[in-house]
Amino acid sequence: MKKNSFPGKVNLVALGIILCIILVLAGAFSLYHFKSRSITTQDVSAASKISGLKFSHKEKKMMLGDLETNLKNYGEMREVSLENSVAPALVFNPLPQGFDFSRFLKDTDFIPEEPAEVQLPDNLEDLAFYPVTDLAWLIKHRRIGSEFLTRLYLQRLKKYGPKLRCVVTLTEDLALQQAARADRELAAGIYRGPLHGIPYGLKDLFATRGYPTTWGSPIFKDQQLDAEATVYEKLTEAGAVLVAKLSMGELAWGDVWFGGQTLNPWDPEQGSSGSSAGSASATAAGLVAFAIGTETWGSIVSPSTRCGTSGLRPTFGRVSRYGAMALSWSMDKIGPIARSVDDLALIFKYLVGPDGKDRTVYDLPFSYDSRLDLKKIRIGYLKEAFDRARNNKEKYLAVLDVLKSMGLELVEIRLPSIDPNIISFILNAEAAAAFDELTRNDLDELMVRQGQNAWPNVFRQARFIPAVEYIQANRIRTLLIEDMARILKDIDVYVTPSAGPNLLLTNLTGHPAVVVPCGFDDGGHPVSISFIGNLFEEGKALRLARAYQQATGWHLKHPDLSRLDRLEPQASTQR
C-alpha cells in the first residue's frame, strides 16, 4: 500500500509558519531595538574617527548604553535656560606655582605725569585730538566745560561716525545730562579726578540700562539688558561722560557687524580690524577722548595697531567683566584704548579691582610711577620675532635702537617651545558654549558673516571637540604658564612686534600688553610694537612704553579725515 505523505507536508507548513512568526517577531524586536537605541556602533566609529581614536567592536558596543544616557542628559540640560551672563563653575587661574602676592602690596603708589599748563588751540576743533591728560587739565582749571567738549565730540560722532561705521548708538541725552552734572559739580568745588567730564565710548558689548547692547549682531539688535556693566558704573563714578556705544565685530570677531565694516580712519579702503573695531577707529578719528575695548585673542592689540592708537590689554583677572558679553570665560579681558600711554594709565586706575560679581578678579593695587628710573626695569626682547618679521622689519628694529639709545640693556629671550596654536581651540569650545542656543536653534544662519572662517562654522565644529581634549589643552596651558614664569623670572618687560605667536600665547597665559604705534608703512598705515609685562605689572610695561612714546612722538599724529568725504554714510541710532 502506498504511504500517505500529507502529515509531513502539514508539518512543513507549520514549521514555515512558525519560522515566519519568528522572523516577524525578530524584525519587530530589531525595529524596536533600533528605535529605542538611536546610537549604533557605526556612530561610535564615525565619532571616534573625528577624535582620532580607535576602539574594538566589543568596546564600542559596551559604550552604547552610557552614550544613550549621556544623550538623554544633554537633552534635559538644554531645557535649562543659560543666559550669556552665567559663567562656568570652573575659574581660570593664570598664576604659576609659588606666585608671590606680597610684593604687590608693598608698592601701591600711583604717580602720573601731570601737565604744567595746557593751552587752548586756535581752532577749538583740535581739542578732539587732545589726550585725556590735557583735556583733564583744561576741565579742572575751567578753561573748557564738559558740556562744551561733549557737544564737540557728539558733533564729530554724527559727522564721521556713520562714514567710519564705528557708532552703533549715540547716547546723546545721557551724555548731555552727565556733562551738565560734571560742570555743576566742578562749579561747586567737587572734582572727581582726571576723568571728570571726559567724553568716551564703550564697545557695544557692555550693558547700559536704557540703551541697546547689540553685540554687533542682527540677532541681538534690539536687545536691552536690565543691568549696568561694572566698567560703566566705575567710569560714571569717576565722572566720565558716555557719548556712544561703539561698533564691534559680530559677537567679538573682526570688524564686520550688522551695520557694515568698521573702517580705519587712516585708510577708509581698509577695515579697522577687530573686534574692538569701533573703539579704536573712533579714538583715532577724534570722535571720543578714549574708549573701552575687550580682548580675547588680539581684539585690543589688533585694532590699536591698525588705527594707530595706544591700547592696554591688562592681566587676566584685573577688571570685572560683569555686564559684558562673554565669549571665552578663561580668556576675555577688558582694557582702555586711548591716544597715549599716560591716558591708558589714568583710565586703567579707575577700572581695576573686584566688584563681588566677577569671581576671577583679584584685589591687587595698580602701581604706576611715570618717573620710575628706566634702569630699574629689566628689559627683554623676542629676537626671533624681530628676525622673522616679513613686513616693516626696519620699523621694529628701530624700536630697539631707540631703547638702546636711552642707555637701556635688552636681553634676548625665547618663547616656550610648545606651540600655543595647538590649544587655540580652547577659545572655540568656550565661544560655542557661550552661544550654544544659536547653533541648536539655527539662529546662526542669521549672522552677518558666514563661511568657513566665521563664527557659525566655528560654533558647529566646536561641538565635536572632546571634553577630554579640552581638559588636556588646559593642562598644556598650565605648562605654558609655568614656562612663562621661568622665562620672565629675571625680566620685567619684553618687547616684540605685535603680531605672531606671542599674541595668542600671552592671551592664553593672561599676561598684560601695552601696544603703541611705532611708525607707518610705505602705504601710510600705522605699525605697532608691544610691551609685554609680568602678571599684574602693567605699571612697568606702561612706564617703558611711555618712555618710548616720549622719545618718538608717533602717537601725536592723527589721520586726515577729509578722505572720508566721498564715503557713503551708514545711519546710526540716536537715543
The amino acid present at 296, given as its one-letter code, is T
Question: DSSP letter string over 137-200?
Answer: HHHHTTSS-HHHHHHHHHHHHHHHHHHHT-EEEE-HHHHHHHHHHHHHHHHTT----TTTT-EE
User: pLDDT tens for residues 218-249?
Assistant: 999 999 999 999 999 999 999 999 999 999 99
Report the DSSP pairing between strands 379-381 and 493-497: parallel
User: pLDDT tens for residues 331-386?
Assistant: 999 999 999 999 999 999 999 999 999 999 999 999 999 999 999 999 999 999 99
Q: What is the model's pLDDT at position 567?
A: 83
- Angle, helices 341-349/538-552, rounded to nearest 10 degrees: 150
Q: Strand (E) positions, 276-315?
A: 290-295, 310-313
Sign of the Cα pseudo-torsion (86, 88, 93, 94, in order) = negative
Q: What share of the chain in percent tops pLDDT 90?
A: 90
DSSP state of 561: G
Q: Which of 127, 120, 175 is nearest to 143 (CA)?
A: 120
The amino acid present at 168, given as its one-letter code, is V
- For residue 26, name the pLDDT band (cuts at 50, 70, 90): low
Helices and strands, number each (H, E), in the chain: 19, 18
Q: Which of 396, 401, 340, 402 is nearest to 519 (CA)?
A: 396
Query: How far is residue 525's CA from residue 270's CA, in Å, rounded to a whole number?
Result: 10
May I ask the CATH architecture of the domain 125-356? Answer: Alpha-Beta Complex (3.90)
Query: How far is residue 304's CA from residue 157's CA, in Å, rounded to a whole number?
Result: 19
- Which cell numbers hold the place of 140? 579742572
Using the CB atoms, write b or e for 210-230: b if 16+ within 10 Å: ebbbbbbbebbeeeebebbbb
- For residue 30, name the pLDDT band (cuts at 50, 70, 90): very low
**Angle subtended at Cα 224 by Cα 447 and Cα 88, rounded to the nearest 5 degrees:** 75
- For residue 2, name the pLDDT band (cuts at 50, 70, 90): very low
| Look-up of cell digits 626671533 | 384
Tell me how far CA of residue 138 lies from CA of 127, 143, 277, in angstroms: 10, 5, 29
| Look-up of cell digits 605697532 | 528
User: pLDDT tens for residues 448-466?
Assistant: 999 999 999 999 999 999 9
Query: How far is residue 247's CA from residue 573's CA, in Å, rounded to a whole number?
Result: 12
| Look-up of cell digits 608671590 | 100
Q: CB neighbours of 489 closer than 8 A, spacing ≥ 6?
A: none
- Which cell numbers hold the place of 69? 544616557
The answer to whether residues 392 and 521 touch, using CB atoms and an 8 Å cutoff, is: yes
User: pLDDT tens for residues 53-104?
Assistant: 999 999 999 999 999 999 999 999 999 999 999 999 999 999 999 999 998 9
Burial class (CB in 10 A: 0-12, 13-18, 19+), 304: buried
**Which sequence spans correspond to the domains of the chain?**
16-77, 125-356
DSSP state of 466: -
Q: What is the model's pLDDT at position 13?
A: 56
Tell me how far CA of residue 93 lies from CA of 331, 386, 427, in angstroms: 10, 30, 16
- Which cell numbers hold the place of 499? 603680531
* Mean pLDDT taken over the chain: 93
Query: How far is residue 335's CA from residue 130's CA, in Å, rounded to a whole number?
Result: 20
Average pLDDT over residues 414-436: 97
Q: Which residues are catalytic?
A: 203, 275, 299
Query: How far is residue 205's CA from residue 260's CA, in Å, rounded to a whole number?
Result: 17
- For residue 20, name the pLDDT band (cuts at 50, 70, 90): low
For 381-422, the three-class secondary structure string (H helix, E strand, C coil) is ECHHHHHHCCCCHHHHHHHHHHHHHCCCCEEECCCCCCCHHH
Average pLDDT over residues 108-136: 96
User: pLDDT tens for residues 246-296?
Assistant: 999 999 999 999 999 999 999 999 999 999 999 999 999 999 999 999 999
The amino acid present at 501, given as its one-letter code, is P
The answer to whether residues 64 and 37 touch, using CB atoms and an 8 Å cutoff, is: yes
Full-model pTM: 0.92
The amino acid present at 531, given as its one-letter code, is F
| pLDDT higher than 50, residue 29 | no
What distance lies between CA 530 and its chain's CA centroid?
17
- For residue 31, name the pLDDT band (cuts at 50, 70, 90): very low
- For residue 571, name the pLDDT band (cuts at 50, 70, 90): low
Query: How far is residue 167's CA from residue 162's CA, in Å, rounded to a whole number?
Result: 7
User: pLDDT tens for residues 391-404?
Assistant: 999 999 999 999 99
Rg (CA), the chain: 29
| pLDDT higher than 70, residue 15 | no
